[in-house]
Amino acid sequence: RRIGARIALADESGFMLRPTVRRTWAPAGQTPICRCWDRRDRLSAISAITVSPKRHRLDLCFRIMGHNVRTEDFERFGVALLRRPGSLILVLDRYQVHRSAAKRLLRRFPRRLSVEWLPAYAPDLNPAEQVWNRAKYTDLPNFVPDDTRELHRAVRRSFKKTASQHRLLKSFFKHAGLTL
């Protein structure tokens, strides 16, 4: 707040055509069965929860791709975050893609960007991890898409729903032990 910078906590995850099977309710003796293809097609997604310096406004920015996240993808996502005026503090875990993209971004935007690193093996400290938890275990459990287009639509719908719920985004910070 003192330097007027936005903070962006970013992470990435994958979504497969095979469903995340969760326990569910069903009438006695009628066990629900998820029938799906044994396909390994998948989508990858990057998301960042941004905190504005003034009114602690929270936003969820995301990008969904049909391939594994590469350095170039994460760099483009960082550039998109920097389109808004002002400086940005990017908080990342130590994944190799993040480290190499951060180096490139720092070279391109040395005055507007600073990077802070989360401790190794501490996903519980990153509120952005809860975006994946919400999508996989609340919005899309037992969901069996026919193809990656249908999966893409469902993931996008889940992210948009999450982005529209300010209280939910705030709870992700509480879960990580962070106060706004």
CA-only gyration radius of the chain, Å: 18
Q: Which residue has the higher pLDDT, 46 or 16?
A: 46
Asked if pLDDT for residue 21 goes beyond 90, the answer is no
What is the pLDDT of the chain when averaged over all its residues? 89
Contact residues for 71 (Cβ-Cβ < 8 A; gap 6+): 97, 100, 101, 104
Choice among 43-47, 59-63, 145-149 with the minimum mean pLDDT: 145-149
Secondary structure class of 166 (helix, strand, coil): helix
Structure tokens at 22: 């969760």
pLDDT above 70 (res 34): no
Q: Are 90 and 102 in contact (CB under 8 A)?
A: yes
Half-sphere exposure of 155 (CA within 13 A, CB side): 29
